[in-house]
Amino acid sequence: MLTTIKTHQPIPAGVETEKVIFELKDYFKKSLSQNLNLMEVMSPLFVTSGTGINDDLNGIEKPVRFIAKSFPDRKLEIVQSLAKWKRIKLGEMNIPHGQGIITDMKALRPDEIVSPIHSILVDQWDWEKRISEKERSLDYLKFEVAKIYNAIKKTEEYIAKLYPKMKMFLPDEITFIYSEDLQYSYPKLTPKERENLVAKDYGAVFIMGIGHELADGVPHDLRAPDYDDWSTSTTERYKGLNGDIIVYNPVLKDAFEISSMGIRVDKKALLKQLKLTNTESRTELSFHKKLLNDELPFSIGGGIGQSRLAMLLLRKKHISIVQAEI
- What digits encode the pLDDT tens for the residues 136-164? 999 999 999 999 999 999 999 999 998 88
Phi, psi of 250 (to 5 degrees): -70, -20
Rounded CA-CA distance 259/256 in Å is 9
Residue 8: band (very low, low, confident or very high) from pLDDT cuts 50, 70, 90: low
Over residues 51-62, the mean pLDDT reads 79
User: Is 244 among the residues known to form the active site?
Assistant: yes
Output the pLDDT for position 112.
87
Helices 306-313, 15-36: axis angle to 10 degrees equals: 120
Question: If DSSP states are collapsed to H, E and C, what string results for 236-278?
Answer: CCCECCEEEEEEEECCCCEEEEEEEEEEECCHHHHHHHHHHCC
Residue 3: band (very low, low, confident or very high) from pLDDT cuts 50, 70, 90: very low
CB atoms under 10 Å from CB of 203, counted, come to 18
Which of 33, 43, 55, 77 is the catalytic position?
55
Closest among 57, 80, 5 to 221, alpha carbons compared: 57
CB 28 within 8 A of CB 309: yes
3 state SS of 283 = helix
Which of 156, 180, 195, 244 is the catalytic position?
244
Rounded CA-CA distance 198/202 in Å is 6
Lowest mean pLDDT among 1-5, 49-53, 258-262: 1-5
Which of 33, 124, 179, 299 is the catalytic position?
124
Q: Measuring CA to CA, how many Å separate 91 from each of 48, 265, 296?
A: 19, 15, 6
| Segment holding 46, helix H or strand E | strand 46-48
Rounded CA-CA distance 240/291 in Å is 19
User: Is 320 among the residues known to form the active site?
Assistant: no
Lowest mean pLDDT among 25-29, 109-113, 208-212, 231-235: 109-113
Which of 43, 80, 81, 109 is the catalytic position?
109
Q: What is the residue type of 249?
A: N
User: Is 109 among the residues known to form the active site?
Assistant: yes
Output the pLDDT for position 54.
86
Closest among 220, 213, 222, 269 to 241, alpha carbons compared: 269
Which of 40, 257, 266, 280 is the catalytic position?
257
Over residues 183-209, the mean pLDDT reads 97
Residue 236 DSSP symbol: S
Over residues 113-135, the mean pLDDT reads 94
| β-strand partners of 299 | 130
Phi, psi of 65 (to 5 degrees): -115, 150
Share of the chain above pLDDT 70, in %: 95
Over residues 200-221, the mean pLDDT reads 96
Output the pLDDT for position 237.
87
User: Is 99 among the residues known to form the active site?
Assistant: no
Q: Which CATH class is domain 15-321?
A: alpha beta
pLDDT surpasses 60 at 301: yes
Q: Measuring CA to CA, how many Å separate 326 from each of 12, 16, 17, 219?
A: 21, 21, 19, 33
pLDDT surpasses 80 at 1: no
Output the pLDDT for position 185.
96
CB 151 within 8 A of CB 170: no
- What digits encode the pLDDT tens for the residues 225-253? 999 999 999 988 899 999 999 999 999 99
Distance of CA 322 to the CA centre of its chain: 18
Phi, psi of 81 (to 5 degrees): -165, 175
Output the pLDDT for position 166.
81
Rounded CA-CA distance 155/168 in Å is 11
CB atoms under 10 Å from CB of 56, counted, come to 20
Over residues 101-111, the mean pLDDT reads 93
Q: What is the pTM of this model?
A: 0.93
Closest among 176, 182, 266 to 225, alpha carbons compared: 266
User: Is 260 among the residues known to form the active site?
Assistant: yes
What is the DSSP pairing of strand 46-48 with strand 75-78?
Answer: antiparallel
Closest among 138, 109, 78, 80 to 300, alpha carbons compared: 138
CB 221 within 8 A of CB 176: no
| β-strand partners of 304 | 125, 259
